[in-house]
Amino acid sequence: MQSKSGRPIVGVMWMLLTGLCFVAVTGIVKYVGSNVPAAQAAFLRYVLGLVFLLPMIRPIIAARLTPRQLGLFTLRGLVHSGAVILWFFAMTQIPIAEVTAMNYLNPVYVTLAAALFLGEALPPRRLAAVGFALLGAIVILRPGIRTIEPGHIAMLFTALGFAASYLIAKIVSGEVSAAVVVGMLSVTVTIGLAPFAWAVWITPTLTDLGWLFLVACFATAGHYTMTLAFAAAPLTVTQPVTFLQLVWAVTLGWAVFGEAVDGWVILGGAIIMASVTFITWREALARRKITPAVQETKV
């Protein structure tokens, strides 16, 4: 059997496809966002995606979750629900490229939180990389030079929410199977989004429902191809490929939505992605994995 490091091209190809799937998600959400409120769109994305949950029902029942595990899954569902709503909202407020670039902050927040709450080491080099990533965020936002929109604030909290969700997943992943972790997230987030969706509910058209089902399909496909990429090659090979997602997001925003190409956003995203790649490389040298790939904290 070939080792992970023996199939880097396969891993890169799967990660390229992963990036295209998630860019499709952002593009569809951007398009539907003008018709359906953010909370409702997020809820419908998860409800329509429950069809993919069917194979996970049996493992969830067989897991016999403890009260502690149920509490952790509930907390993760609440945090993730808030992050998803904010992400859907941000998509309606700011360009796709800016949402994509700021999403790169998720692994950086995970690194900081792992050091603060899980006792993970944060040596000077990794701390410097975190600092450069935050500098990249400043390059994107350029406070005092440009207007910071509500969508930018929403993305900052989105990244925090997804980071918290990932850390809880890391805690329970050593206790239950991956199918249970994924399945419980789908169930708890669907329930968590329900009251927010009800508060702003409008009757969606069949066309909107069709688009949101496509969001669920592309999101599921993206997570699946990402898993295949991780199986084929190490993160140090696949992580840099995720930067191309920003290139595709810029192209999509310009070609489909008429959004201007902002070189500062690309530069800031490149700085953040370089920092995340460095952190991933350092963790690979230490033979451990704390920092997630960017796609692991997606909707």
> What's the per-residue H, E or C state across 222-276?
HHHHHHHHHHHCCHHHHHHHHHHHHHHHHHHHHHHHCCCCCHHHHHHHHHHHHHH
Instruction: Give the C-alpha separation, 191 to 264, whole Å.
Output: 39
Query: Is 220 a member of any domain?
Result: no
SS3 296: helix
Percentage of the chain surpassing pLDDT 90? 34
Split at pLDDT 50, 70, 90, the class of 121 is confident
**pLDDT at position 230, please?**
74
The yes-or-no verdict on residue 129 having pLDDT over 90 is no
The least confident of 82-91, 129-138, 185-194, 287-296 is: 287-296
For range 162-176, the mean pLDDT? 86
**pLDDT at position 2, please?**
46
| CA-atom Rg of the chain in angstroms | 18
Instruction: Give the C-alpha separation, 284 to 233, whole Å.
Output: 12
Query: Is 74 a member of any domain?
Result: yes
pLDDT in tens, 33-57: 888 999 999 999 999 988 888 888 8
| Overall domain count for the chain | 1
Work out the number of other CB atoms within 10 angstroms of the CB of residue 255.
9
pLDDT in tens, 173-221: 888 887 888 889 889 999 999 999 999 999 999 999 999 999 999 988 8
Query: Is 24 a member of any domain?
Result: no
Query: Is 14 a member of any domain?
Result: no
Q: Which residues contact 233 (CB under 8 A, 6 or more apart)?
A: 4, 5, 7, 8, 10, 11, 12
**pLDDT at position 295, please?**
59
78 CB burial (10 A radius; 0-12, 13-18, 19+)? middle
Query: Is 6 a member of any domain?
Result: no
Instruction: Give the C-alpha separation, 174 to 161, whole Å.
Output: 21
* Domain containing residue 40: 34-204+235-297
SS3 262: coil
Query: Is 210 a member of any domain?
Result: no
For range 148-174, the mean pLDDT? 89
CA nearest neighbour of 87 among 163, 14, 12? 163
Split at pLDDT 50, 70, 90, the class of 15 is confident
224 CB burial (10 A radius; 0-12, 13-18, 19+)? middle
The yes-or-no verdict on residue 269 having pLDDT over 50 is yes
The yes-or-no verdict on residue 95 having pLDDT over 70 is yes
For range 96-120, the mean pLDDT? 84
SS3 146: strand
Percentage of the chain surpassing pLDDT 70? 92
Query: Is 261 a member of any domain?
Result: yes
Split at pLDDT 50, 70, 90, the class of 294 is low
Query: Is 102 a member of any domain?
Result: yes
